[in-house]
Every structure is written in structure tokens, then in C-alpha cells.
Structure 1
Amino acid sequence: MTDHIEAKVTDSVLTLVLNRPDKKNALTDAMYGTLANELFAAQEDADIRVIVIRGEGDMFCSGNDIADFVAAGGGDIGERGVGRFLHALADNMKPLIAAVHGKAVGVGLTMLLHCDQVVLSEDAELVAPFVNLALVPEAGSSLLLPERIGHARAYRVFALGEPIGAADALAWGLANEIVARDRLTDAANALAQRLAKQPLGALIATKRLMRDPDAIRQRVDIESRVFGERLKTPEAQEAFAAFSQRRAPDFTSFG
């Protein structure tokens, strides 16, 4: 357990709160592990009918904690907390809602592709900076994002790291509604309560018909392998050095 993830169950709804606002809710491997534990346990808990994920502070999630991730090295991502979390997302069959405000960066964006409902605040901005860091997409997003918004849009989001504003996210089918920032939590909770009153067996059966967890898990594993390989490349070393030195990276010397 980590203090940076709050988990509570109210009226059959499990709420998972990313609570590391001083670090923009950047996820450490310990935080990933806690999220994975909560998602896996929720599948077996008859008292939990819906899951909500939201963040504290001025943004939903700034992605991986870079220092934590680099310290862990390439290794086998699947064996760490992050790998378990990605599998938990792929395997989750209970209704999953995200309430997103401010920036959702990296995994902050890609986890939304596993959510059944996404509520955005007016200031929400979704960013996939993987290629900017000389890496590749994760969380099954190389499969799920093109399926959702088409190849051309998805490639631009990945290749150039261009942010998706709330209005475009709604228009492209990445979100269900946009609300004022001060209404975000209430809107997500109201939606969760509506779903909690629906027949859970039918909801789960419907979700199983709508998605293929085996295909998603397979893509997650492929991405994780390539991601780990990319972490060891000179391009990635330059990207992370530039990030720590607060300068623009220079990839022109790499073929």
C-alpha cells in the first residue's frame, strides 16, 4: 500500500484517487502496484459494482515518475507494478469511470482507453509524449487508440505528442461529457451510482462482448517488451538527459 493512492468504497463504488499532487500525480512503481492490487481485488469483491479513478491537485496524472522509472532500468516491465497495472486494466470487467481534469499525460491518457466512461473538465488536455521521449506507446494504446480515433489522428498524437483538448476528445469519442471543473467529481459519482443500480451480470457480459482482453493483454506485452528495449537506446538516453537538464533534446545524430 502507498499513501499516494487512496481507495475507498461508498455505496458499491470503489474510488481510486491519485493523491500525489506535489508531483502532479506522477506514478511510481509502488503506486502502480497498489492500483493493480485494488483493480484485481475488485473483480472478486461482490460489494464493488463500479470503479472510479480520479486525481487530486491541479491535474489528473502527469504519467510515469521519470526518476523512478529510470532508476528501475529497462528490465522486465511485466514483472513490476506497472506491468501488473496494465494487465489489471486489460482484465477489468467491472464498469470503470475516469474523472479527468487538467493534464492527462502518458499513462494518464492511455488508461482512459480502458475506461467505459470518461468525464472531462473543461480544462482537460490529453497528451501522449512517448515518441518525444524516444519511447513507444503502452497500455495497449497502439491498438486501442487507432481503433477509437483512426490511424491518422492516432499517429499524429503519438508521433508529434500533440495534446488533445477536451472538445476534440469528446468529438473523437475519447470522452462522454465535459463539465465545469467544480462539477467533475459529482458528475462522475452520479454516473457511477446510475451504473451501480444496473444488473452487474449483464454489464459484465456486455463488456466481454465489446472488448477482447486477450488481444489487449497480448498487445500490452509486446509494447512492454519494445518499451524496455527503447529505454536502453541512445535516443532515450538523450531524451531523459535533456529532460533532467531542462533543455530540448537533439536526436539529429541518431539514425
Structure 2
Amino acid sequence: MSKLITTEVINHVLHIEFNRQDKKNALTTDMYRALSYELASAKRNEDVRVAFFKGSEGCFSAGNDIADFLEQPVLDEGSPILNFLHELANFDKPIVAAASGPAVGIGTTLLLHCDLVYATEKTYFCLPFVDLGLCPEAGSSYLLPRQLGYVRAAELLLLAEPFDGNRAKELGIINDVASPDEYIQVAQEKAEKLAMKPVHALRVSRQLIRSNSGFVSKAIEREARSFSELLGSDEAKAIFKKFLEK
């Protein structure tokens, strides 16, 4: 397992921590491989009842590592990113997340797959796909309209403007905000509370609430095809060139 992804099981909760502080926990191909492995292992491990995503040093994730991102067949069939997205969408146990600092791109869309999410007032959320010459990913083109309604989803995905924790709570992307000193503790307590529930009843109830995994997987595939096409476009190449020259 990559040290950039650290894990620990505490009280039946699998803690999954992004641990790349020098790059604001930007995700690389190797990190996606590790994340896929951890989720797949957790599905088989009866001791794990809940997964809990968090970032180190008060930082969730700045999104994909652009340099690494451009070197890989990003969303081709079998790619580490696509494998992770499918593992995430089809994970059959509750998922909790704690987000602070930047939660950009996948740092926001990952949260749409979670059951409970806690952040700080100053958490920086952003879905910059259109501004990068790309399109939504991680099933967000399906999940956001379903969760927020079309007009709010369009505002976030098309305008690509950043928003804070209070706005995320108002929109329904997160459950609540807490102070920078308490948000992880709040999220962990909720995760452990879930882990103490009757296991089978909790899992069945979650499946009934989230009876859309097939639709999400299809959305991920549709997005991946469009994303790959756009990534190879002159428009996106010019945008990324300027980004890397900064």
C-alpha cells in the first residue's frame, strides 16, 4: 500500500487518509490504485462496517495531480481512476467523510458517494471541470441533479464557482459544519455510531436509500468517454499548458 494513503481500522471503522501534504493531497495514479485496493478489501472484511475518508493536516484534497494526470490514460477502461470510481460507487457499506481546506474536483465529487459528510465553514469546494476544458466526473452529472435539483447542479457544474462549507450545507452536499479543531472528531463519532448499528439492517437500509448504483455506474462510464475525448482536445490542451506554466 502506498504511504500516500494511510489506513487503520478503529472500532470497526476503516480510516482512509490522504497523506500527501506537500501537494495538498492531490491524488496520483498510485494513490487511486491504493484506494481501490482498500475499498475492495474492506468489502470483504467483516470487521470493517464503515469507511471514513479524511485528509491529513487539515486538507482534504486539491483534486487530481495535473502532471501525473496528463501522463496516464486517465479514464480509459481499466484505468486506476475509473477502477476507483466504480469501487466507490458500488461500495456496500456506509461511507463517512471529513473535509477541510481544499476539496476540489474529485475532492468534492467523492463526497457525493458518502452517506455522512462533515466540513468546516472555510472548506473550499470547487468543481472546475468546465474551466479546465473537461466535463463532470465520478457520476456527478447524475448525482448532483438528483441530490440538489437541476438548477443548483447546473450552477455548480457549469459556472464552476467555488463555495464554502456553509453553502455546501445549504445545498445538501454535506450534513454539517464544525470548527477546524472538531470536524474530524464529529465525523469519527458519527462513523463509530453507524458501526454500532445492527449490521444487516444498516446495510439493507442503505441499499434501499441508495438504490441507484447501476445508474451511477452508467453515468461514470458516459462521463469517462466524454472526459477522455475532451482531454485530447486542443481547447483542453491549451488550458492545461497554461496551468502547468504557472
| Same fold, judged at TM 0.5 (above) | yes
Note if 1:4 corresponds to 2:4: yes
User: Once the 2 structures are TM-superposed, how far is the Cα of residue 227 of structure 1 from its aligned partner?
Assistant: 0.6
Name the stretch that deviates more: 35-44 or 135-144.
35-44
Alignment match, 1:219: 219
Alpha-carbon distance in structure 1 between the residues aligned to 2:241 and 2:189: 44
User: Once the 2 structures are TM-superposed, how far is the Cα of residue 49 of structure 1 from its aligned partner?
Assistant: 0.7
User: Once the 2 structures are TM-superposed, how far is the Cα of residue 244 of structure 1 from its aligned partner?
Assistant: 1.0
Alignment match, 2:231: 231
Query: Match of 1:191, as an amino acid?
Result: K
SS at 2:138's partner residue?
coil
Tell me, yes or no, if the aligned pair for 1:24 and 1:58 is still in contact at 8 Å: no
User: Once the 2 structures are TM-superposed, how far is the Cα of residue 150 of structure 1 from its aligned partner?
Assistant: 1.5
Alignment match, 2:89: 90
Alignment match, 2:201: 202
Tell me, yes or no, if the aligned pair for 2:73 and 2:79 is still in contact at 8 Å: no
Alpha-carbon distance in structure 2 between the residues aligned to 1:243 and 1:170: 30
Query: Match of 1:140, as an amino acid?
Result: G
SS at 2:25's partner residue?
coil
User: What's the RMSD between the two structures over aligned residues?
Assistant: 1.1
Alignment match, 2:173: 174
The number of aligned residues is 245
Alignment match, 2:149: 150
State the TM-score, normalized to the length of structure 2.
0.97
Alpha-carbon distance in structure 1 between the residues aligned to 2:239 and 2:149: 28
Give percent identity, aligned residues only.
Answer: 39
Alpha-carbon distance in structure 1 between the residues aligned to 2:33 and 2:3: 12
**For 1:139-197, what per-residue CA distance to the aligned partner results, in whole angstroms no more than 9, with x for missing partners?**
00000011111211211211121112111111111111110001122111111111011
Alignment match, 2:109: 110
Tell me, yes or no, if the aligned pair for 2:58 and 2:180 is still in contact at 8 Å: no
State the TM-score, normalized to the length of structure 1.
0.93
Alignment match, 1:132: 131
Alpha-carbon distance in structure 1 between the residues aligned to 2:145 and 2:239: 25
Alpha-carbon distance in structure 2 between the residues aligned to 1:32 and 1:144: 21
Alpha-carbon distance in structure 1 between the residues aligned to 2:11 and 2:97: 17
Tell me, yes or no, if the aligned pair for 1:128 and 1:161 is still in contact at 8 Å: yes
**For 1:95-143, what per-residue CA distance to the aligned partner results, in whole angstroms no more than 9, with x for missing partners?**
1001000110000000000000000112112100000100001000000
SS at 1:57's partner residue?
helix
